[in-house]
Structures are given as C-alpha cells and as structure tokens.
Structure 1
Amino acid sequence: MQIITAYATKNDCYKKAQKMTTKGIVVHSTGANNPNLKRYVDAPAEVGVNQYGNHWNNPASVMGRSVCVHSFIGYALNKEVKVANILPYDICCWGVGSGSKGSYNYNPAYIQFEMCEDDCKNKEYFEAVYNVAVEYCVYLCKKFNIPVDNIVSHKEAHALGYGSNHGDPDNWWRNFGRTMNDFRAAVKAGLAAGDSAETPTEPAKPEANVLYRVQTGAFKQKANADKLAADLKAAGFDTYIVIANDLYKVQVGAYSVKANADNMAAKLKAAGYDTYITTNGGKAAGAATTAPEAKPAADVFTEADVGKKVKCKPGVTKFSNGAKMASWVPSTALYIRAVEQGGKILLVSTEKTKKVYTGRVNASDMQRV
C-alpha cells in the first residue's frame, strides 16, 4: 500500500479545521464511473493532471457543495491503485451527512475515505481497490486504536442514525459477492497477522524543491508530439506536453524524488520508449508560443482544441450516444470542453469557462468555426 499526502488546503473543511478524536471509520464509494484519483485529488505529479480543475482542492463556491473526506483510493499514474490522503486525520471531515441521531462527521467523529468507482463491472480493479482498502483500515486501526467493529459503510452509518441515506459501497461490492462483514473480517485477519500496512510506503522526502521530469521526446511539430503522447496514453502512461526552447516536449510525470523518476524511466524503457530525465519544465502546450505548429485537419481534434469553437455539420441531429439533440443545438456555436477516446468524441458546451455541458458528440460530426 502506498499513501500519497496531498492536503486539500483550499477546501472549506480543511480551512475550518475542526479538531476530532477518532472513534471509527466510514467506508464510502464515489458512485461515479471514474476510477482516477486525479478527478478528486490535486497532486498532478503523482496522480495526473485534472484538466477541468474540478478536484476537491477547491472551496465550496467552486465545487458547488461543501464536502470533504480524509482520503481517496483509486488509480494514480500508470493505473497503480494508491491511497491519497487529502485531510489531516485530526480534522473532522464532511463526508457522511447527518442522520436521526447525529453525524459521524463530528460526534462521534470517524475517519472517512472514498473508493473511486469505475463502471462497477471490472473485477480486477475492484479487487485491487478492496485489498488496498483492507490494508488502509488495518493501518488506521493500529495507528488510532480503532476497534474493527467501529468500521462501517455509509449505508450502515445511515441505518445506525449517523449518516445520510446512501447505499455505498454496498451497491458496488454486491456485484462481486462482498459485504461489510467480509471486509471487517479481512481487517481483523490483517490485524491478527501483524500486517505490514502499519508502515505504509509513503513518498520519500522531497529534494530541494526540484522536480525531475521523465521526457520521452522533443519535436518541432506539435503533431509529432501529439502522436507520441497518444501512443504513451494507449500504453497506459499518463503524459502531457510542454513547450520550451521552441520544442514540444512529451513528458511523463514530475517527481520531487529522483528515485521515483528513475523508476518511471525504467518502466518506459521496458515498454520500448527512449527517456531522458530533466529538471526543466515549460509552458503547457496550449500556451502562446512561437514554435511552429502543423495545421490540423478540419475534423481532427486533440487536447490543444479545448476551448475552441465548433459547430455541427449539416444534417447532424444526434449526440454520440444516439440521443436526439434539441432543435437549437445543430445551429449553435459550441465550445470544446474535452477531447475523449483518442479524439473521436468531443464534450461540448455553450459556455467556454463555466462548468456546464451541452453533451458529447462525434468529432466527425463537428466542424471548426
């Protein structure tokens, strides 16, 4: 088990910093088809970049709700399941809501973590998250002297009168024949075995504010950088492109500990990619630059097109899922908010910056404005 520490210092819960004495643990699952920690956790060097900025390191005025838990479990870089701790354990979280008797947020106060759900059909991912959650609870029980019987699900918290009416994580676990009783039994077994999770692997001490970046290529033409980045993503590596010295540089990760960069470089080399470790960064590929850029084909879209205007081609009346568009959509100029599935799908919106969406469309159905 590996624990990433990435405190959500901009979250209102972190700022309130209401102190707590731990009495138990509440186990949640997110209820959304997104297994990636970067959706919720602001730690780009370790979990990847959230291009929308809608992680939980934001105030309620940005998030649209007041919510925070202590940790998340899900995919970090390269589909490694890890724990990301976003709130100190001595601060009350805002995770379980309230019930008829009170709330496990405050009195009695419980440590709470979310497991990032996927489509709830992937057994391999489920088992990986489940096992890490068991190890994490063993670690927390030892660290805070928590009785295993004080580990509950959100669903159980509601039944006990200390949480809002939710069904997680039972709604996910029952697909694979697991229950909270099974989970508590596994934690007890881990405690009885003297599980090594008492000392989880955590990042080594950062080295003098230096970031070590694993670079796989540098190109004059952005199209070439885009192709390499797409190949890397298809191979399971979370990558990004920066611009420096009139070159588009494809990089995988930015690490405060060189040993972590060395490990990533070794993985890339094993996968057949050339690597170079550098401490030089650059501007995001979407930033203004004097570097030459190949003009994209009319209906080929990449991440560089996010924020640009498009419009439906003549005769297009349906979204990518086959649903019929409202009558005004085909004739309206829309903004690209995300490019998905290797450029085949665009998530579009009538607004350029607000977090509202019109729908998903086939890239082949759209034309630039």
Structure 2
Amino acid sequence: MRLIKCILTANDCYKAGRTITPKGVMVHSTGANNPAVARYVQPVDTQADAAGLYTVLGTNRNKNDWNNPGLDVCVHAFVGKLADGGVGSVQTLPWNHRGWHAGTGISGGSANNTHIAFEICEDGLADAAYFGKVYQEAVELTAMLCKQYNLNPLADGVVICHSEGYQRGVASNHADV
C-alpha cells in the first residue's frame, strides 16, 4: 500500500472538527471516468509540503477539488492514480474525524457517525489492470484501518459500500459499490 497524507483543511467538514469512534469502513466509488486522485485532492497552496504533494498527486487545473469551502461532501481518503501513474491511497481527513459521505438513511441514522469512508476513483471501467491495482490498494487500506481500530472485517456491517449502507438505513439512496 502506498499511503500519502493530504488533509483537506479548507473543506467545511474538516473545519467542523467533529470526531467519531470508528466502527467500520464504508467504500464509495466516484462514478466518474477519471482515475486521477488529483481531480479530488489538492493541497492548500500555503501549506509547507504543497510543492511535494503537487509532485506526488498531480495538479487539478480546474481547481474543482474537494479542498475548498462550500462543499457538502468529504471522505477520509481517495484511492486512485497518482501523478507517476501508480496507484495509491491519499488520506484526506484524520481517521477519527466525522466525514460527510453517507447522508442520512431511512432509519434517521448515518454512517457518517460510525464509518471511515474512502472513494475509489473510477476509470472508464474497461482497464482490468487498473481495476486490479485499485482493488488491491482498497483491500490493503481497509485491512490497515480494521487493524488500527480493532475491527473484524468479517463481522456484519463492518465493511460496507454506500449501497449496503442504504439497505441498512444509514446512508442516502444511491448505489455506488
């Protein structure tokens, strides 16, 4: 696993500063044909390691990444392509921060209060080699988080996708898996 840290300090979710005790991991998919982590993750230009992070992540020339105020979404990490073409994980929130990823389910509950979440950056769904690499990276990230928080990945409800969260009543109704 290749883990890089680029906390989204300009995102309102980070600024809210709420914390959770992680009880599981929720896997999301961006649902867009863009495997580049740089689409979603950029450093704040004023942070000390910004130049190094741009080198590792690549640059989002459109400036539509998630490290901006006014967004109602934020996950703990993204898994996808880095600037060198390799696959890696980029941590975007402290693991115990409350993310904004699941919405509210029909039960009135939310996996935002219980689950660490990450997005897998999709491609055009035709590159088997990319899928294999990003899947392996996601498995290793999930295993690391389960170990760090003493979570049993085989236990019911510990590792779920957004769609499963909806079925459990703790996520809004859309089907990224």
Q: TM-score, normalised by structure 2?
A: 0.90
Deviation per CA, 1:237-296: give whole Å up to 9, x if none. Answer: xxxxxxxxxxxxxxxxxxxxxxxxxxxxxxxxxxxxxxxxxxxxxxxxxxxxxxxxxxxx
CA distance in 1 between partners of 2:119 and 2:80 (Å): 9
Give the partner amino acid of 1:54: N
CA distance in 1 between partners of 2:124 and 2:175 (Å): 16
CA distance in 1 between partners of 2:139 and 2:59 (Å): 27
Give the partner amino acid of 2:64: N
What is the 5 A alignment of 1:1-369? Answer: 1-42=1-42, 43-60=53-70, 65-101=71-107, 102-106=109-113, 109-148=114-153, 149=155, 150-169=158-177
Count of matched residue positions in the alignment of Structure 1 and Structure 2 = 163
Q: Is the 8 A contact 2:32 2:123 kept in 1?
A: yes
What SS is found at the alignment partner of 2:15? helix
CA distance in 1 between partners of 2:122 and 2:61 (Å): 20
Partner residue of 2:49?
none
Superposed structure 1 runs of 4+ greater than 4 Å apart: none
Give the partner amino acid of 2:27: V
How many angstroms does 1:166 deviate by? 1.6
Q: Is the 8 A contact 1:44 1:50 kept in 2?
A: no
Q: Identify unmatched segments of 5+ residues in structure 2.
A: 43-52
Q: TM-score, normalised by structure 1?
A: 0.44
Higher relative contact order, structure no. (Cα contacts within 8 Å, ≥ 6 residues apart): 2
Q: Give the RMSD, CA atoms, in angstroms.
A: 0.8
Q: Is the 8 A contact 1:99 1:162 kept in 2?
A: yes
How many angstroms does 1:120 deviate by? 1.1
How many angstroms does 1:105 deviate by? 0.3
What SS is found at the alignment partner of 1:68? coil
What SS is found at the alignment partner of 1:45? helix
How many angstroms does 1:40 deviate by? 0.5
CA distance in 2 between partners of 1:22 and 1:49 (Å): 31
Q: Percent identity?
A: 42
How many angstroms does 1:45 deviate by? 2.1
